[in-house]
Chain A
Amino acid sequence: MGRLDANFIKPFVGGVLETLKVSCQTEVKTGRPYAAGSAVTPAVDIAAIIGLTSKTFNGSIAICYPQKTFLTLMNRMLGMNEQEISSDFEDGAGELLNQIFGFAKRHLNTEGYEIQKAIPSVVRGQNLRIWHNREVPSGIIPFESDAGEFYLEIAIA
C-alpha cells in the first residue's frame, strides 16, 4: 500500500470523525480499511473529491455517500428536513471534505508532508464510481453511523 499506511490514513479518519461530530452532530464508527476493488462498496449518489499535492507525492481523496446518508447528515448540519438533495445541499459535500482535508493537512504537515491547499469538486449521479488512477495504490475506509454508511477513498502515488 506504499504511503497508504496507518500513520497517513489516521488524520483523515480523525478528520471524518471530528467534522461529522461537530458539524453534523453525528457519531461515526470506522470500519476496517481495504484495498479498492477488493470488496463491494455501497452505492454512491454524491461524492466530493480533492487533490492531494505535495513536494514528494500526488494523489486524491474522495468521500462517497449514498443519498440517504448524505441527506441525513446535511439535514442535521443545517437544521432542515429535506427529502431530496437540492442544489443548496450539493456544495455541502465539498464543504465537509474541505473540513476533513483541513484537519488531516494540519496534522500531516506537522510531520513534514507539506500538503498544499486544494479546492474540492462535487459529483452527483446514481451509482457513481470514483476512478482514481488505478496505477497507484487506492484504499477504502468504510464508516458507519446512525445516518447511514459512507466511505472515504484515498489514492496516493
Chain B
Amino acid sequence: MFAPNTKILVVDDMKTMRMFVKKHLKELGFENIQEADDGATALPALEQAANAGEPFGLLLSDWSMPKMTGLDLLKQVRAHAKLNALPVVLVTAESDKAQVIEAIKAGVSNYLMKPFTADDLKQKMAAAFSKVKMAG
C-alpha cells in the first residue's frame, strides 16, 4: 500500500476539480499534494522534483486539457528517463474504447471515471501503486 506522505501532483485545468481531488486526497490521509493546471506546466514540475531528488510518487491527471492533454503528458512521462516508472492515473468523463486502448498502450497505470468518490480514488490509486510494485 502507498504511504500517506506520498508526494502527489494533481493536474486539471478546472480549478474546482483540483480542489475536489485534493479534498478527497486529504480525506484519504494524503497531505503532500501539489497542483498544476495543465500538462505543459506539470511536466517541468515533475522534472524539477525528480532532479532535486524529491520526486513525485503519483501523477493524477485529467485527460482533457488545453495545451497538453493528460494522454500527451503520460506519453512524455513514459519517455522520460527519470519519470518513466511514475504511477499515472488518468481521470476522465469519457470512456470510449479507443481512448482506453490508447491510454493502456501509452502505459497508464489506471483510469478513473468521473464522477467518483474518495473510495473510488483510493482503489484506483492502490491498483496503480501495486502495478508499479509488481513491475519493479
Indicate if B54 sits at the interface (CB-CB under 8 A). no
Q: How many residues of B contact A (CB 8 A)?
A: 17
- Main secondary structure on B side of the interface with A: loop
Q: A78-B19, A94-B14, A102-B93 are in contact. Are A18 and B64 (CB under 8 A)?
A: no
**At the interface, yes or no: A62 with Cβ under 8 Å from chain B?**
no
Q: Which of A90-122 contact B (CB under 8 A)?
A: 91-92, 94-95, 98-99, 101-103, 105-106, 109, 117, 119
Pick from B16, B94, B115, B117: contact of A92, CB under 8 Å: B16
User: Nearest residue in A to B24 (C-beta to C-beta)?
Assistant: A79
Closest Cβ–Cβ distance, residue B62 to chain A (whole Å): 10
Interface SS of chain A: helix
Interface contact B115-A19, CB-CB below 8 Å: yes
B2 touches A (CB below 8 Å): no
Question: In the complex the two chains form, what is the Cα distance from A19 to B92 in whole Å?
Answer: 13
Name A's B-contacting residues (CB within 8 A): 18-19, 22-23, 74, 77-79, 88-89, 91-92, 94-95, 98-99, 101-103, 105-106, 109, 117, 119
